[in-house]
Structure 1
């Protein structure tokens, strides 16, 4: 007897259904948009000629980041300086001859921020301000305005600000002292302006940098040791900011490299204070500024063996022409006279060139 005919094509139908299901899955996969890649962190290098045309530390920094796996970084800025050795991101905001005060007074930064939108700003400004004999309060006032403009553009911006390198240009005998005074004031400014949302950290570009061996003209870093020293300080600070592990508002204090002894004599409305600063480190201090805060109600009327500014609050005492060098184990004595309104005590904390001192 012949076999009964099939009532329906069961097996071919199942194969067709499976094929159509696979086709639909492939079509769905092809139609789905690819996952968006994380945007790179945008870093603005803001400064003067030490960042711009003489800033080949930027190339070293970029190459260091790439070599250590930090490839999701985008240097941003309105300027491009491509003539350093090797491949690197040439965008920056280094303007030769510019002052922090000039940029702030002319409101130039908002235009540079527009379209670049940095997440991190690395700022090294103040060299030309010091060269123009401007004092720390004016320079720090410019810093404050610039930071406000950064935060207006990006409330979460991270600022890394440099204590500027030493300088000894021809015709500016007081520039070295001006740099010391500015650098001594920067950590306090950073601490006052630091916030959890928009942190401000400090990089020490002064310590260990020599105008004799690390610059080409007493100001600009040379292409051998100079740019390498600058890059070596920027790199860990930038990596900390990228990783979210920043060190806080200021360079790590280095207690033990200086010791301060202070004694006071007072009367009903006045006092005198004698201060001895001892270098307890192993390197000579060549140019110094001593930072301290007067108790409320005190105001300086006279000082000796240093120049003092301002007269109340957070004061910086800067060396004179004859006592700027303190050899290891040696000390220098200074002093001041002040009025008071009831509290005749002396300062309780001191910093020497921005580093904390022990007090005895």
Structure 2
């Protein structure tokens, strides 16, 4: 004896038949009550994919790039105001600004706008980063190098055309650049005034409903004596002023994009 209970053959057949009947009933019950099962509160609903973050490229020279801590302050201010669904993009990694922030960018020290166009650099940067919004602060090195305003505006136009070729819906924010008074360039201040005065009409000529251009005035209220450390590059008070000016311009664009989604 192995301790198991053995049933006579008829009993075993009866158990087999009853088991089959139970199985059929269970299957039929399952097929006829899908609504009740789907409504089971213990079942978690399928997750809804989150909206893709808006990709923002800060494009410029050393004022944008190194260390460019106005970008860090801007990011911090945006997070505090609830603009968290953003992704700053670019081939350049963040610099140290005293706290962690999303700091990828496309700021290249010493670069000229006309040099970016001559070397056809922007299409590659755009292909890698695929920005929805471009914040362009370019022209300081061109002015310093004596590039005429019409030539510089032509370069701006080429860059905007390349941005739209990469993304027809791109939003472009173009800065009227900071005042400058570098040693050895007595005419730089006047050249900046000339360029900045020409930017609004240039922007209006290229503006479109699909890909708007916003002019951002970094010049007004900025003092080279107190807001820079060398007559060109912003110091602590200068980066704070830059962040404060960029904030309403950028968040205004983000609000418009949110309404379209």
Shift of 1:34: 3.1
* One of 204, 207, 217 as aligned partner of 1:194: 207
Q: How many residues align?
A: 235
Corresponding residue number in structure 2 for 1:163:
176
Q: 2:242 maps to which residue?
A: 230
Shift of 1:87: 1.8
Tell whether the 8 Å contact from 2:67 to 2:95 is kept in structure 1 after alignment.
no
Q: Indicate the residue corresponding to 2:139 in structure 1.
A: 126
Q: What does 1:1-360 align with in structure 2 at a 5 Å threshold? A: 17=29, 21=33, 25=38, 34-222=47-235, 224-244=236-256
Once superposed, what is the RMSD of the aligned Cα atoms?
Answer: 2.8
Q: Which runs of 5+ in 2 are unaligned?
A: 1-17
Contact 2:68–2:95, Cα closer than 8 Å, also in 1: no
Q: Post-superposition shift, 1:16? A: 8.5
Q: Which runs of 5+ in 1 are unaligned?
A: 1-7, 246-360
Q: Tell me the equivalent position of 1:298.
A: none
For residues 33 and 132 of structure 1, what CA distance do their matches in structure 2 show? 59
TM-score w.r.t. length of structure 1 = 0.61
Alpha carbons of structure 1 residues 213 and 31: separation in structure 2 relative to 1, 3 Å: closer
Larger Rg belongs to? 2
Using the TM superposition, give the Cα deviation of residue 36 of structure 1 relative to its aligned residue in structure 2, in angstroms: 1.6
Check conservation: 1:124, 1:164, Cα contact below 8 A.
yes
Cα offset for 1:66? 0.4
- Which structure carries more strand by proportion? 1
User: How far apart are 1:86 and its partner, in Å?
Assistant: 1.3
Q: Deviations over 1:15-35 (max 9, x none)?
A: 9826994796489x9898632
Q: How many Å apart are 1:41 and its aligned residue?
A: 0.3
**Structure 1 residue matching 2:88: 3-state secondary structure:** strand
How big is each residue's C-alpha offset from its partner over 1:75-128, in whole Å with a ceiling of 9 and x where there is no partner?
000001231121210200000000111001111000000121100000000000
The secondary structure found in structure 2 opposite 1:203 is strand
User: Counterpart of 2:216 in 1: which secondary structure?
Assistant: strand
Q: Which has the higher helix share?
A: 2
Whole-Å separation in 1 of the counterparts to 2:136 and 2:151: 17
C-alpha separation in 2, matches of 1:117 and 1:24: 44
1:59 and 1:85 in contact (8 A); partners too? no
Q: Distance in 2 between matches of 1:41 and 1:126?
A: 26
State the TM-score, normalized to the length of structure 2.
Answer: 0.83
C-alpha distance in structure 2 between counterparts of 1:15 and 1:98, whole Å: 72
CA-CA distance at 1:54 after TM superposition: 3.4
